[in-house]
Amino acid sequence: MSSLISVNNLTRRYGDFCAVNNISFKLAAGDILGFLGPNGAGKSSTMQMLTGNLAPTFGEIEINGVDLLENPKAAKASLGYLPENPPLYKEMTVLEYLTFCARIHGVVKQKINTISQSSIDACGLGEVRNRLIKNLSKGYQQRVGIAQAILHSPPVIVLDEPTVGLDPIQILEIRRLIKTLGENHGIILCTHILPEVQAVCNRVQIINKGELIYSAGIDEILNQESTRFEISFASEISPDILSSHSVFTSIKKADNNHFIVESDLNADKLIEYIVQQQWGLNQFTQQQASLEQIFINLTLADANTVDPNTMNASSTEQEKVA
């Protein structure tokens, strides 16, 4: 399958500071790629370079087979972009604004009305098409921002924090819209909200300190076997007793005789070991792997001591990592 975006050895320096360090990746049609990283990791610099708003120090970017640096106008014609703060003219109505954007994109006059209406329909803006943008809710304004990004039917769409500031219902609506758009486009979703990535993306990449440190499919993450377990005992067992057994690599007391532990043993062998100690095992649950714990472990732990292939996770962590 041909790549809609091809990034090779992309680097951006600000003086002596390297914001993005030699990253490479590809985006294919049908991909919804979650692009993650903590604040200051290099996400914004990468997005600005991909959209032609920032020149790389060195490296190559191709969009739909066109070199962005050599032929920026042609490359950008294949790109739709929603920045974190949508570029809206709020004194215009939705239809006026999209008509204006269509003209900017060079849509021929005879097709402007049809294309604008198509974008309105795709983003669920039919009921507000003649209302002033300034009078719309935040959710509808985000929809207008997405509508301008897809107006010219670009094969690639870049969305930067598309659900920031929205209420839960609006978030669900935007997520559904992104998944629908992903059926016919390649999408890069840049966000801090990890459950959002897990809900709509089929691939994820994590950048930290300017370097691409993790890349995997969502299915691969969810099918990964966790090494974190929730256990409880009939008799009173102290954390010190558990710590004296090397099978446990991490121990956290959750409640009386109730612990969250990590172990290099698989579930069956760990159960067998605990039963042999005659502690009175009441509960044993293997927690599900999650993107959130992978993100935390990779970005907060010492990079020299973390193996991405052994990352595992709890499904009970916070929903948002800023």
pLDDT tens, residue by residue, 5-60: 999 999 999 999 999 999 999 999 899 999 998 888 999 899 999 999 999 999 99
The whole domain housing 200 covers 3-220
β-sheet with 228-233: strand ranges across: 248-255, 258-263, 228-233, 281-286
Q: Is residue 33 part of a domain?
A: yes
pLDDT at 133: 97
pLDDT at 312: 39
Which CATH number goes with the domain that contains 281? 3.30.70
Q: Is residue 212 part of a domain?
A: yes
| 25 and 146 housed in the same domain | yes
> Span 103-126, mean pLDDT?
92
Among 186, 220, 254, the domain boundary falls at 220
| 153 and 70 housed in the same domain | yes
Pseudo-torsion of CA 106, 109, 110, 112, nearest 10°?
A: 70
Q: Please tell me the distance from the alpha carbon of residue 276 to that of residue 190, in angstroms, as a whole number.
A: 48
Higher pLDDT, 236 or 287: 236
| 260 and 173 housed in the same domain | no
Which CATH number goes with the domain that contains 152? 3.40.50.300
| 134 and 47 housed in the same domain | yes
| 180 and 245 housed in the same domain | no
Mean pLDDT, the chain, as a whole number? 86
282 pLDDT more than 80: yes
124 pLDDT more than 50: yes
Count how many domains the chain has.
Answer: 2
Q: Please tell me the distance from the alpha carbon of residue 72 to that of residue 241, in angstroms, as a whole number.
A: 64
> Span 210-235, mean pLDDT?
85
Q: Please tell me the distance from the alpha carbon of residue 87 to that of residue 37, in angstroms, as a whole number.
A: 24
| 161 and 277 housed in the same domain | no
DSSP assignment of 64-123, as one string?
TTEETTTSHHHHHTTEEEE-SS----TTSBHHHHHHHHHHHTT--GGGHHHHHHHHHHHT
Render pLDDT for 241-270 as a digit per residue (tens, 0 to 9). 999 999 998 898 888 889 989 888 888 999
Rg of the chain, C-alpha, whole Å: 24
| 157 and 256 housed in the same domain | no
Relative to beta strand 156-160, strand 79-82 is parallel
Q: Please tell me the distance from the alpha carbon of residue 301 to that of residue 315, in angstroms, as a whole number.
A: 19
Specify the long-range contacts of residues 213-219, CB closer than 8 Å, at least 24 apart.
213/298, 213/299, 213/303, 213/308, 214/294, 214/298, 214/308, 215/25, 218/34, 218/291
pLDDT at 194: 85
Quickly state the pLDDT bin for 295 (edges 50, 70, 90).
confident
| 118 and 62 housed in the same domain | yes
Q: Is residue 206 part of a domain?
A: yes
92 pLDDT more than 90: yes
Q: Is residue 99 part of a domain?
A: yes
- Report pTM: 0.75
pLDDT at 316: 34
| 179 and 261 housed in the same domain | no
In the chain, what percentage of residues exceed pLDDT 90?
Answer: 55
Q: Please return the burial class of 113, using the count of CB atoms within 10 Å of its CB with bins 0-12, 13-18 and 19+.
A: middle
> Span 65-78, mean pLDDT?
93
Q: Is residue 317 part of a domain?
A: no
Quickly state the pLDDT bin for 1 (edges 50, 70, 90).
low
